[in-house]
C-alpha cells in the first residue's frame, strides 16, 4: 500500500510541476530534468527511510525503489512524446 501511495504522490508531483512550471514560463525540457532529479532524490530518501526505520533489506528496497522511480518517469516520457510540437 505504501508503494502505491508514493507512486501516486509522484504522479501528482509531476502534474503539479508541469502545470505550474508552464504557467510560470519554464520549458518542458527544463521541467522534465528538474522532475527527474527531484524524484530520484525523493526515491532515494524514501528507500533510506525504509531501510533504517522499517528494517527492509537493501535488495527489496532496490526493486521497490526502481518501480517507484520508473512509473512517474515513464508517465513523464509518455507525456513528452504525446505532446511534442511539430
Q: Would you state the pLDDT for residue 86?
A: 53
**Whole-number Å distance between alpha carbons of 39 and 20:** 17
**Whole-number Å distance between alpha carbons of 60 and 1:** 15
Residues 7, 9, 12, 18, Cα dihedral to 10°: -90
Which run of H or of E encompasses 3? helix 2-24
Nine-digit cell at 46? 524514501
Q: Which residues contact 46 (CB under 8 A, 6 or more apart)?
A: 6, 65, 68
- pLDDT tens per residue across all 86 residues of the chain: 899 999 999 999 999 999 999 999 999 999 999 999 999 999 999 999 999 998 899 999 999 999 999 999 999 999 999 988 65
Amino acid at each position: 500500500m505504501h508503494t502505491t501511495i508514493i507512486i501516486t504522490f509522484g504522479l501528482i508531483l509531476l502534474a503539479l510541476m508541469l502545470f505550474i512550471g508552464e504557467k510560470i514560463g519554464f520549458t518542458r525540457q527544463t521541467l522534465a530534468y528538474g522532475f527527474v532529479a527531484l524524484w530520484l532524490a525523493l526515491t532515494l530518501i524514501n528507500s533510506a527511510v525504509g531501510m533504517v526505520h522499517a528494517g527492509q533489506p537493501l535488495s527489496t528496497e532496490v526493486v521497490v525503489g526502481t518501480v517507484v522511480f520508473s512509473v512517474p518517469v515513464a508517465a513523464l516520457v509518455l507525456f513528452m512524446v504525446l505532446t511534442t510540437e511539430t
